[in-house]
Amino acid sequence: MNTVPGLVPAGHRRLPVGQAAGDRRQVWPWRRAGLGALAAGAVALPFVLPPYLLFQATLVLVYAVALLGLDLVVGRGGQISLGHGAFFGVGAYTAAVMIAQFGLPYPLTLPVAALLTFGLGWAAGLPALRLRGLYLAMVTFAVAVVLPPLLKRFPAITGGAMGMPVPTPRAPVLDDDQWVYFLVLGVTVTAFAGIRNLTASRGGRALTAIREHRAAAEVLGMRPATHMTHAFAWSAMYAGTAGALYTWTAGFVSPDSFALSLSITLLAGVVIGGPATLTGALLGAFVVMGVPAVARELNPAAPGVISGLLIVLVVYAAPTGLTGLLRRAAWSVAGRRT
């Protein structure tokens, strides 16, 4: 074997890229520093933001959880789902009905919503062998369109077209909205850690392999149908969890909050943030929450026009999303590929 300068023999500690053995230069731990700053900022946020902006920030975290889930199907699995708004809605209504109709304590709603949507995702993913590609997109589109009329159909349970108010969690220590923010933040951090491990697991790596080359993955012994069903179930569970968090945050659910436009917003978030990345979920959530809020100041119809054009523009100019753009910017600043 030829010796290549800088190549570290197996069994030794891997050195950062660009550093040769014996090099005493310190490498600044960008990753850890960035995460630390993010964590500090996230904790400080509720004490500096006014209530309305804090509400928006909480919703960004809620959306980020849903985007993490959708990314499992879209980014990692390469399939298109336009129905995750429906799972989000089912999660939100599960929490709302449990709290408002049965008077159950709110912490209980999270696992129930998660389990229920996991099961629904599993059931929806079972025909995944047939519902591939465009067919999956069409079926999930139909699901997203059907959910609001279905919710309106049972007014005794769901409150009908008018929706229903839900008591939000009471805070034992802080203000109520700060408390909800920290609850959501806790779940979001757990969700990020979960996806990080999930995508590094056997199933997660199989999912990427199937996306890249289905036949090769099959030859290597991976069952695409099994892995896709799992991915769809997890992904639905994330969306449902986000739905329950939404109910805690907003304190109100109505069928039209979970219409087709929510599913489209979620897909846009994944595409804009950057498919198959963790930071993409956060960036995407920030953009799909922030851009319409700013655009609404201009004109009531402006958010739609701007969001739509943004999707087309990102697909055309930055297929790897904002995360890809930031990564390229970081490379050009640092002068190296990390």
Partner 1 sequence: MFGQQLLEGLGAGAGYAALALALVLTYRFTGIVNFAQGELAMLATYVAWQLVDSGMPYWAALPVTVAVAFLAGVVTERTVMRRVEDRAGELTLVATTIGLYVTVNAIAALVWTSALRAFPSPFPDGPAGVSALVAACVAGPVLGAVALVVRHTGLGLVMRAVAADPRSARLSGVRVGRVLALGWGAASAIGAVSGVLLAPILFLEPTMMTGVLVYSFAAATLGGLDSAPGAVAGGLIVGVTETLAGTYLGFVGADLKIAVPLVLIVAVLLLRPQGLFGSAPVERA
Residues in contact with partner 1 by CB under 8 A are 74, 78, 80, 82, 127, 130-131, 133-135, 137-139, 141-143, 145-146, 149-150, 152-153, 213-216, 260, 264, 267-268, 271, 275, 299, 301-305, 307-312, 315-316, 319
Q: How far apart are CA 237 and CA 88, in angstroms?
A: 9
CA distances from 174 to 42, 46, 188, 194 (A): 16, 10, 19, 28
Q: Which is nearer to partner 1, 108 or 123 (CB)?
A: 123
Question: Which residue, 104 or 291, has its beta carbon nearer to partner 1?
Answer: 291
Distance CA 243, CA 246 (A): 5
The CA-CA-CA angle for residues 211, 216, 220, to 5°, reads 110
Of residues 272, 264, 266, the one with CA closest to residue 324: 272
- Report, in Å, the least distance between residue 152 CB and partner 1: 7
- Specify the residue, 114 or 322, whose C-beta has the smaller distance to partner 1: 322
CB of 315 to partner 1, least distance (A): 5
Least CB distance to partner 1 at residue 302 (A):
8
Measured in whole angstroms, the distance separating CA 36 from the mean position of its chain's CA atoms is 21
Going along 163-247, which residue ranges are E strands?
Answer: 164-165
CB 24, min distance to partner 1, A: 46
* H helix or E strand, kind and range, residue 330: helix 321-334
For the bound state, the minimum distance from the C-beta of residue 242 to partner 1, rounded and expressed in Å, comes to 20
Which CB atom, from 176 or from 212, has the smaller least distance to partner 1?
212
Nearer to partner 1, 29 or 304 (CB): 304
